Amino acid sequence: MRIFPLFAGLVLAGCATSQMDNATEVATAKLYRGDGSEAGVAKLVRKSDGISLEIAAAAPGQGSFGMHLHAVGKCDGPDFSSAGPHWNPAGKQHGHDNPAGAHAGDFPNLVSNAEERILFNGPVESAGWEGEGALFDADGVAVVIHEKADDYKTDPSGNSGKRIYCGVFTRG
Ligand SMILES: [Cu+2]
């Protein structure tokens, strides 16, 4: 009988922990073209098993398009240079095919589908959510989609050309 209170305590502790772990936080970004029109939406979703990035947007055309998280949550058109370089808290070079890579903000190319949409859902590797060096640091974070495919190796931008969509993530 003496084991029961201990067991109950463990169960309660387990519940409290799993409720915290299950708390989902979502940050949303409307994607804008350089002319100010809306192209779609992006989400950063934080769950107990990590952070993921979701994209649902009109395709800019047929083909593949580079996509990255950029270091500054600011999307001033038409060129979106205000979003700064790729999000890179670890100070690496660009690209998963680069021996000195990759940026934490590097992602696979988006590919337009038969409905002329671009859809993506994938993990944000080794990312913190909030604070210095995390996604939501003092200057925030943006997602940028480029006019060309990322070659996954050319530093610093994967030779992916102009920035054609940009979105600033807002929490809550
Ligand atoms: Cu980019």
In a domain? residue 77: yes
Digit-coded pLDDT (tens) for 145-160? 999 999 999 999 999 9
User: Tell me, what's the pLDDT at 16?
Assistant: 45
Ligand 1 center–CA 125 separation, angstroms: 16
Give the Cα separation of 38 and 47 in Å (integer). Answer: 27
Measured distance CA(19)–CA(9) in Å, rounded: 16
Indicate whether 14 belongs to any domain: no
Distance 154 CA to ligand 1 centre (A): 12
CATH number of the domain at 37, please: 2.60.40.200
Q: How many domains does the chain have?
A: 1
Indicate whether 3 pLDDT > 90.
no
Q: How far does the centroid of ligand 1 lie from the alpha carbon of residue 48, in Å? A: 27
> Is 19 inside a domain boundary?
no
Taking alpha carbons only, the member of 53, 52, 56 closest to residue 41 is: 56
CA of 53 relative to ligand 1 center, distance in Å? 14
The whole domain housing 87 covers 24-171
pLDDT of residue 13: 45
Distance in Å, CA 71 to ligand 1 centroid: 10
The reply to whether 50 falls in a domain is yes
User: How buried is 16 (Cβ within 10 angstroms: 0-12 exposed, 13-18 middle, 19+ buried)?
Assistant: exposed
Residue in the block written with tokens 């070079």? 93
Distance 118 CA to ligand 1 centre (A): 16
The secondary structure element, H or E, covering residue 17 is helix 3-22
User: Over 90: is that where the pLDDT of 71 sits?
Assistant: yes
pLDDT for 125: 87
142 DSSP β-pair partners: 70, 168
Task: Report CA(157)–ligand 1 centroid distance (Å).
Answer: 6
CA of 99 to the centre of ligand 1 (A): 19
Question: What's the average model confidence in pLDDT over 156-171?
Answer: 97
CA of 172 to the centre of ligand 1 (A): 24
pLDDT digits 0-9 by tens, 6-58: 444 444 444 444 445 557 999 999 999 999 999 999 999 999 999 999 999 99
Question: What percent of the chain shows pLDDT beyond 90?
Answer: 83
Q: Between residues 126 and 94, which one has the greater pLDDT?
A: 94
Q: What is the distance between the alpha carbons of residues 100 and 90, in angstroms, rounded to a whole number?
A: 11
Q: Beta strand pairing status for 67-70 and 170-171?
A: unpaired
Above 60 in pLDDT, residue 63?
yes
Phi, psi angles (nearest 5°) of residue 126: 40, 50
- 82 — pLDDT class (breaks 50, 70, 90): very high
